[in-house]
């Protein structure tokens, strides 16, 4: 049987290819330090697991959930935004429950654009944004995220033609893959840009819990007028180490929330109610676990930066997320350098070009192994002798 034309257009899942390579190396018996992926390494906090256990014993949770999610979960999401960001959210009209932010990102073009419409994506950016482009039958333009601009897009540099045709844009701060962060001023400018050009904004806040050096990441909805132009996607995957649980929510613009709810009425029957109850516990419960997790990532970041400096590798310290975006030494492409690290040092990293054209010249490292393993990874790289001259290219 043939796949549909649409399915045939889907890009090869970038992480799937990376996983295959790493698994092949592990199958050969090699001790690979895997810094390539974005899967949190620590467990879900115990109080959240207990909430799932208790809820799953209640036969009520074995039935279909309300299609648009449990009311108490929407209220917990609204309370969370008030407490964490001082943003007022109406749980009835401004929250949609989603099975992880990836689903929201993929279904949004289908929900609010027409085939052939244009959307605007960051480059480099999270590769799964492209799945939504193909499934929604839409086109995309890109905005470069450059080191010299602190990995923020510069709206003035977009051509009139692009500004005219885009109807939806995605942003993501703290940023995957660059580790860059955004401030309120940037989000205020974004609201202005969106109003001037009639663009709907989706801010992917997947790493919202993790800002370093005492800087709490800013929510897009803190910007004046943000709800008039867009939504924010929040996932429990990273904040509470719940990546496998598949739960998150969208908050903000009523029309976009209604569009998500409508498309989901047709695609899904919401999420297992016990998972929703666990999500309520995560959002309402003790947040010490989130602070502890952030401190662990920051500690790992510091080890990576110090160790790299020691061997003469002049890397950028990420300001948030759990990724570091490292310059590739002169003479290598991103892919060549990533292959070299896997083949000769048993260190897996993601090649920057997998995140877009402007990812060339970088590799992405996940801070998702212990400080000891990170130290060992840099020591293995040191043995390759590449950084003796300490010359790295700055893209
Ligand atoms: C930038 C970004 N957005 C969204 C996601 C998807 O997260 P979720 O588990 O909520 O689908 C990821 C996961 O790695 C991500 O890095």
> In the chain, which segments carry CATH 3.40.640.10?
50-285
The residue whose CA has the least distance to atom 6 of ligand 1 is: 102
Atom of ligand 1 nearest to the CA of 236: 10
Residue 243 Cβ < 6 Å to ligand 1: yes
The β-bridge relationship of strands 248-252 and 95-98 is: antiparallel
**pLDDT of 195-249, one tens digit each?**
999 999 999 999 999 999 999 999 999 999 999 999 999 999 999 999 999 999 9
Indicate the CATH number for domain 5-43+288-384: 3.90.1150.10
Q: Is 204 in the pocket of ligand 1 (CB under 6 A)?
A: yes
pLDDT digits (tens, 9 = 90+) for 42-78: 999 999 999 999 999 999 999 999 999 999 999 999 9
pLDDT of residue 16: 81
Compute the average pLDDT of residues 331-351. Answer: 96
- Tell which atom from ligand 1 comes closest to the C-alpha of 102: 11
Give the model confidence (pLDDT) of 134-157 as tens digits.
999 999 999 999 999 999 999 999
Q: Measured between alpha carbons, how far is 157 from 108 in angstroms, rounded to an integer?
A: 26
Instruction: State the number of CA atoms in the 13 A half-sphere of 303 facing the CB.
Output: 21
Q: Mind listing the pLDDT tens digit for each residue in 353-369?
A: 999 999 999 999 999 99
pTM summary value: 0.96
- Lowest pLDDT segment from 90-94, 133-137, 344-348, 387-391: 387-391
Q: Could you tell me if the CB of 248 is within 6 A of ligand 1?
A: yes
What is the predicted pLDDT for the residue at 393? 46
Q: What are phi and psi of 347, to 5 degrees?
A: -120, 120
Q: Mean pLDDT across the stretch 160-178?
A: 98
Distance in Å, CA 156 to ligand 1 centroid: 28
Tell me the residue ranges of DSSP E strands in the chain: 33-34, 95-98, 118-123, 139-144, 166-171, 200-204, 230-235, 248-252, 323-327, 347-348, 350-351, 362-366
Cβ of 233 below 6 Å from ligand 1? no
Distance (Å) from CA 390 to ligand 1 centroid: 34
With a 6 Å cutoff on the Cβ, whether 38 touches ligand 1 is yes
DSSP H or E stretch at residue 250 = strand 248-252
Give the C-alpha separation, 173 to 355, whole Å.
Answer: 15
Read off the pLDDT band of 14 (50, 70, 90). Answer: confident
* Element containing residue 362 per DSSP (H, E): strand 362-366
CA of 102 to the centre of ligand 1 (A): 6
Helices (H) and strands (E) in the chain, counts: 15, 12
**Where in the sequence of the chain do the CATH 3.90.1150.10 domains occur?**
5-43+288-384
pLDDT above 90: residue 22 = yes
Q: Is residue 235 within 6 Å of ligand 1 at its C-beta?
A: yes
Per-residue pLDDT band for 391 (boundaries 50, 70, 90) equals very low
State the fold for domain 50-285: 3.40.640
- pLDDT score for 310: 95
Question: Residue 6 and residue 8: Cα distance in Å, rounded?
Answer: 5
Per-chain mean pLDDT for the chain: 96
């Amino acid at each position: 049987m043939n796949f549909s034309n649409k399915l045939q257009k889907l890009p090869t899942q970038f992480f799937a290819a990376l996983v295959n390579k790493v698994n092949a190396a592990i199958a050969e018996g090699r001790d690979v330090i895997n810094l390539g992926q974005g899967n949190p390494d620590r467990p879900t906090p115990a109080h959240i697991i207990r909430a799932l256990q208790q809820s799953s014993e209640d036969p009520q949770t074995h039935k279909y959930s309300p299609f648009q999610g449990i009311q108490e979960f929407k209220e917990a999401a609204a309370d969370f935004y008030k407490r964490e960001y001082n943003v007022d959210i109406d749980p009835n009209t401004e929250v949609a429950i989603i099975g992880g932010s990836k689903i929201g990102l993929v279904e949004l073009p289908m929900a609010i654009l027409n085939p052939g419409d244009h959307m605007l994506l960051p480059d480099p950016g999270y590769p799964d944004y492209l799945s939504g482009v193909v499934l929604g039958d839409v086109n995309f333009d890109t905005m470069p995220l450059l080191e010299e601009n602190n990995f923020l897009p510069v709206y003035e540099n977009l051509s009139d033609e692009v500004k005219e045709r885009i109807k939806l844009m995605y942003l993501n701060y703290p940023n995957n893959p660059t580790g860059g962060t955004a401030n309120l001023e940037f989000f205020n400018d974004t609201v202005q840009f969106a109003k001037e050009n009639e663009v709907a904004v989706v801010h992917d806040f997947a790493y919202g819990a993790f800002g370093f050096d005492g800087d709490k990441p800013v929510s897009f909805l803190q910007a004046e007028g943000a709800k008039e132009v867009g939504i924010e996607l929040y996932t429990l995957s990273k904040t509470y180490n719940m990546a496998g649980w598949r739960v998150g929510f969208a908050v903000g613009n009523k029309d976009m929330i209604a569009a998500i709810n409508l498309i989901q009425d047709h695609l899904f029957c919401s999420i297992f109610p016990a998972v929703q109850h666990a999500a309520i516990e995560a959002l309402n419960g003790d947040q010490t676990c989130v602070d502890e997790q952030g401190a662990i990532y920051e500690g790992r970041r510091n080890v990576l930066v110090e160790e790299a400096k020691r061997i003469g590798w002049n890397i950028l310290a990420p300001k948030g997320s759990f990724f570091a975006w490292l310059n590739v030494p002169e003479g290598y492409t991103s892919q060549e350098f990533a292959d070299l690290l896997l083949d000769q040092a048993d260190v897996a990293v993601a090649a920057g070009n997998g995140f877009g054209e402007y990812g060339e010249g970088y590799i992405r490292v996940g801070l998702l192994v212990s400080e000891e393993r990170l130290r060992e990874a840099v020591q293995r790289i040191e043995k390759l002798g590449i950084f003796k001259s300490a010359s790295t290219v700055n893209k």
